[in-house]
Structure 1
Amino acid sequence: MLDTTQGDAAPPDDGRRSASAHERRVTDEEWRATDEERQGCLFALSQPPLMIFLAVIGTLILMASLHDLLLL
C-alpha cells in the first residue's frame, strides 16, 4: 500500500483528554473483575452440554461422510 501521509499530522482533538494505555493503571478491583469475566474458550469447551452437542454433531457428520464414501 502506498503511504500518502505528509509530515507528522496529529489526529483531530475532540476536547476530551484520555490517558494512554501505559499511563492508566488498573486497580485491584478491576483486575479481579476482568479475571472472572475473562475465562475464554477452553472454559466454554469444558462444559458437558457443549461437549455432548459437539460430539453428536461430529458423529452425524462422520456418519454422513462414511455413507457418501462407502454406500454411494
Structure 2
Amino acid sequence: MVDTTRGEAPAPEEEPHGCLFALSQPPLMIFLTVIGVLLLMAAVHDLFLL
C-alpha cells in the first residue's frame, strides 16, 4: 500500500492585512490624490471664481 500522508507541516496561512496596509498601496494613493485634487479645484473654483 502506498503511503499518502505528508511528512511536512501544512503551510501557515497568511495573516489578514488591515486597513493601513490597503491605504499604503500606490494605486490607491494615486486614486485618492486625484480625487482630492479634483475636489480642491472644485472648491477653489466655487470660492474665488463664482
Same fold (TM over 0.5): yes
Segments of 5+ residues of structure 2 without an aligned counterpart are 1-9
- Runs of 4+, deviation exceeding 4 Å: none
User: What do residues 21-58 of structure 1 show as CA deviations (whole Å, max 9, x unaligned)?
Assistant: xxxxxxxx8xx53x612x11000001000000000000
Q: Which residue of 2 aligns with 1:60?
A: 38
Scaled by the length of structure 2, what TM-score is found?
0.71
Scaled by the length of structure 1, what TM-score is found?
0.50
Task: Tell which has more relative contact order, 1 or 2 (C-alpha 8 A, sep 6+).
Answer: 2
Segments of 5+ residues of structure 1 without an aligned counterpart are 1-28
Equivalent pairs counted in the alignment come to 40
RMSD: 1.6
